[in-house]
Chain A
């Protein structure tokens, strides 16, 4: 099973709203990622968690707040977003060992900020 599940699939939110994106995997992967993807561009790394600890924050604005409650779950809390934050938000997970670092993506959350 190589499934990463993201909810919701679509989200429309106002600039004053607070919402959360959720991601779950049961593959025993110890690295989990949030990516942002704009149309016709490759995914852009936002955050990396390894062993439930934040290991990379790619200078993401504080209106995006990640959380890793346990090894299977990853959340992204959204607050006071801007219209330019509208994008496809992707969660991924992978193992952390040489020769076995394939990353699997969830189906994504299509976020529209109005």
Chain B
């Protein structure tokens, strides 16, 4: 059974600090990794995609991938109250389907 694991949280971070979200996956052959942000009652919004080892930065967001250790992380710098949401880690499996983590609820405290 291919799995994606995330700490469900909630993760509470002060405004302006760095929020660090982590995800591990079981399928060693996985090649595509994604972070989605989902506000309550809304649909998932793609935040970052990463396909190769290392860091990928986009504004305040940095995705990190380590295939040897089978983990992917998302860093959010200068956290804002508007970043409060559930963050879903997803890994592309076979047949184009996404394998989802349970999501981490992030709370940014003003």
* A-to-B contact residues, CB < 8 Å: 2, 31, 33, 41-43, 45, 48, 50, 55-56, 88, 90, 94, 96, 98-99, 101-108, 110
Q: Is B28 interfacial (CB 8 A cutoff)?
A: no
Q: A50 to chain B: which residues have CB within 8 Å?
A: 95-96
A99 to B31, CA, bound (A): 8
A72 to B92, CA, bound (A): 22
Interface residue count on the B side (C-beta < 8 Å): 23
- Our count of residue pairs bridging A and B at CB distance below 8 angstroms stands at 55
A102 touching B46 by the CB < 8 A rule? Answer: yes
A90 touching B96 by the CB < 8 A rule? Answer: no
A88 touching B43 by the CB < 8 A rule? Answer: yes
Whether A94 touches B88, Cβ cut-off 8 Å, given contacts A99-B51, A103-B34, A108-B43, is no
A31 touching B46 by the CB < 8 A rule? Answer: no
B95 touching A105 by the CB < 8 A rule? Answer: no
Q: B102 to chain A: which residues have CB within 8 Å?
A: 41-42
B109 to chain A, nearest CB (A): 21
Q: With CB as the reference atom, state the residue of chain B lying closest to A50.
A: B96
Whether A105 touches B96, Cβ cut-off 8 Å, given contacts A42-B88, A42-B102, A98-B31, is no
Q: Within the complex, which residue of B41, B45, B95 is in contact with A55, where a contact is CB–CB below 8 Å?
A: B95
Residue from B41, B43, B88, B103 having most chain A Cβ neighbours under 10 A: B43
5 A-B residue pairs with Cβ-Cβ distance under 8 Å, sorted by A, are A48-B97, A50-B95, A56-B95, A88-B43, A102-B49
Q: B92 to chain A: which residues have CB within 8 Å?
A: 101
* B-to-A contact residues, CB < 8 Å: 31-32, 34, 36, 41-46, 49, 51, 88, 90, 92, 95-98, 100-103
Q: B97 to chain A: which residues have CB within 8 Å?
A: 33, 45, 48, 56
Q: A105 to chain B: which residues have CB within 8 Å?
A: 36, 43-46
B86 to chain A, nearest CB (A): 8
Whether A107 touches B96, Cβ cut-off 8 Å, given contacts A42-B88, A101-B32, A102-B49, is no
